Structure 1
Amino acid sequence: MENGIELSAEKAAAEVQAVLANPRGWTADGRNSFRLVDSGPVDFVVRIATPGTVDRICGRAGLRTRGEVNCSVGEDVVVNLKRWVLGSDQFDGPIGEYRALIVNHEVGHRIGHGHLGCGGPGRPAPAMMQQIDGLHGCEANAWPYDENGTYISGPTVP
């Protein structure tokens, strides 16, 4: 948690941990597992930061977040405080679901997944779709897998 942010680091960590442990999350692939640690070696760190800090961290890797979006760079999964608190107009679900989308999308990049497009009108949007840029006929969705354990996919996009 960036210094000066008035969010509970413990509550945010618990929320991130719950997303990563959800049966519709990345662990459904049978290859990934996640464990919350407070010290020692890590594969990645989820950081919640102000838009300016997100722009700086992500910008070092050549990414333009424009104070609006999140990124995954090196060991850092960087969550924009603005999105954590306000969500997105494109996502009509509750804020907890939007936070799950943020975590799933950026952790998805961290574990090797690229962007996907809408798989068809009325279908759930893939978690790896940039839903903040519009749903293109898909329905807002926070999870990589459906309740039956099927990966929610779509066409590969740059």
Structure 2
Amino acid sequence: MAAQRSRRQHGRRRGKGRAAVVAPLALGVVLVVAVSAGYAAWHKTQGTTTGSAVLDNGVTATDTATSSPSATADAIDDSPSARPSTSHTPTTTPPSASRTPSAPPPTAVPKSGTGKFTIAKADGSASGHGVIRRYKVEVEGGIMLSATDAAHEIADVLANPRGWTADGRDGFQLVSSGRADFVIKIATPDTVDDICGAAGLLTRGEVNCDVGATVVVNLKRWMLGSPEFDGPIEDYRALIINHEVGHRIGHHHEGCPGPGKPAPVMMQQIKGLKGCVANQWPYDVHGHYISGPPVA
């Protein structure tokens, strides 16, 4: 009897020992499972949030595994200067053309000036042969254009070998005082309209005119050229001078001689080239006059 009681008591102690060991182990498994599930949910949430923030900052999809290509394309500026590198090393990609500052807009041309003119303090040597016509250059006040600079530019045009001196009969000389055969005035659109309008000519603030002994150059054309003339502004100024001075020496308007051919300097090129190529000189490099059919 004593032996049996001893075995039963020993069995109960062993059973309690197993329970004491198994309970902590089960609790540990539950905790591990719960922690793993919680960490997985937290990591998934963090991964999505990180991907969105990275895209908003413009990083490529290769840096964020949870980002989709379409989301990356929508979030990133695709210009070369803004496209980020897939590594963390600095890039040397040059700026794109779209990032280059655009050319400044054309110079603003005042619609009106003071109505008073300044004579250019400039003189030059006679060029050409035969009749040497003396001329002065005047610039209207209030337009921020140097009369002297304009006079020298005009003198270079009239002395050019492809200019009117190539005819062997006409010559020109810039003067600042004394007698002058004609005057070249550079004026604002409103003043051009007044001067030309007094002679019955309608310029509408856009074109030049030749009145009496005066060549009137519209400042708008001098500064901005013409959309019909494909070339530097200096070339278009040469066309203005050669066309108006051409009238002074007896030439009349001419038309386009044919598609692809140079437009005669006496053609009103501002009204359209009619298939011709823009040209600012009366003569070609071989000394041949560039002519076209007469225009009434």
Provide the TM-score with structure 2 as the length reference: 0.53
Tell me how far apart the structure 1 counterparts of residues 164 and 193 of structure 2 sit (CA, whole Å).
26
In the other structure, the counterpart of 1:143 is 281
Name the counterpart of 1:38.
176
- Is residue 232 of structure 2 the alignment partner of residue 94 of structure 1? yes
* Counterpart among 9, 12, 16 of residue 154 in structure 2: 16
1:127-142 equivalences in 2 (<5 Å): 127-142=265-280
- 2:145 aligned partner: 7
Asked if residue 125 in structure 1 is aligned to residue 239 in structure 2, the reply is no
SS of corresponding position for 2:152 = helix
| Distance across 2 between alignment mates of 1:55 and 1:111 | 23
Asked if 1:111 is matched to 2:249, the reply is: yes
1:48 to partner: Cα distance:
0.3
What's the counterpart of residue 211 of structure 2? 73
Specify the SS of the correspondent of 1:33: strand
Distance in 1 of aligned mates of 2:185 and 2:273: 26
1:55 — aligned with what? 193
Counterpart-to-counterpart distance in 2, 1:16 and 1:55: 22
Higher RCO (C-alpha under 8 Å, 6+ residues apart): 1
Number of residue pairs aligned between Structure 1 and Structure 2: 158
1:61-114 CA-partner distances (Å, limit 9, x unpaired): 111111000011111111000000000000001000000000000000111110
Return the offset for 1:9. 0.7
- Residue of 74, 78, 82 corresponding to 2:220: 82
What is the CA RMSD across the aligned residues, in angstroms?
A: 0.6
Matched residues in 1 for 2:203 and 2:167: separation? Answer: 29
Counterpart-to-counterpart distance in 2, 1:119 and 1:43: 32
Q: Which structure: larger Rg?
A: 2
Q: Aligned partners of 1:111 and 1:55: how far apart in 2? A: 23
**TM-score, length-scaled by structure 1:** 0.99
SS class of match (1:35): strand
**C-alpha displacement at 1:59, in angstroms?**
1.0
Kindly state the Cα deviation for residue 140 of structure 1 after the two structures are TM-superposed. 0.2
Report the Cα distance in structure 2 between the residues aligned to 1:112 and 1:52, rounded to whole angstroms. 27
Q: Which runs of 5+ in 1 are unaligned?
A: none
Q: Percent identity?
A: 72
Q: Post-superposition shift, 1:120?
A: 0.6
**Which residue is equivalent to 2:112?**
none
Structure 2 residue identity aligned to 1:18:
D
- Describe the superposition over 1:117-150 as per-residue Cα deviations: whole angstroms up to 9, x where unpaired: 0011100000000000000000000011011110
Distance 2:227 2:245 in 1: 22
Q: Deviations over 1:6-48 (max 9, x none)?
A: 0111110000000000000010011110000001111111110
Residue type of the alignment partner of 1:129: M
